[in-house]
Amino acid sequence: MVVTLDLSSDDVRFLADHLDRYIASLDDELIHSDKREIQHELATELERLRRLRERLAVAR
């Protein structure tokens, strides 16, 4: 299933800024996590969020 969103330029910037902050926060959490399982989950989530963020950058 593919979902398409029509976003204004302001909304794209807003979403990108929030994604950047969330990615930085998760990155910090990953660095300070001691449990391998949590590290793996965070790394997987970070990878997916970064791919989404890249797609937003292209859409600008």
Q: How far apart are CA 26 and CA 43, in angstroms?
A: 9
Model pLDDT, residue 52 = 96
Global pTM value: 0.87
* Structural domain that includes position 14: 9-59
The verdict on residue 4 lying in a domain is: no
Enter the tokens of residue 40: 């793996």
* Contact indicator for 41, 7 with CB cutoff of 8 Å: no
Does 2 fall in a domain?
no
Is residue 60 scored above 80 in pLDDT? no
The H or E element containing residue 60 is none
Number of domains in the chain: 1
State the pLDDT at residue 12: 95
Q: Do the domain assignments include residue 24?
A: yes
**Domain-embedded: residue 25:** yes
**How many CA atoms within 13 Å lie on the side-chain side of 58?**
6
- Summarize pLDDT for 3-50 with one digit per residue, the tens: 999 999 999 999 999 999 999 999 999 999 999 999 999 999 999 999
Residue 59: predicted pLDDT: 79
Structure confidence at residue 57 (pLDDT): 92
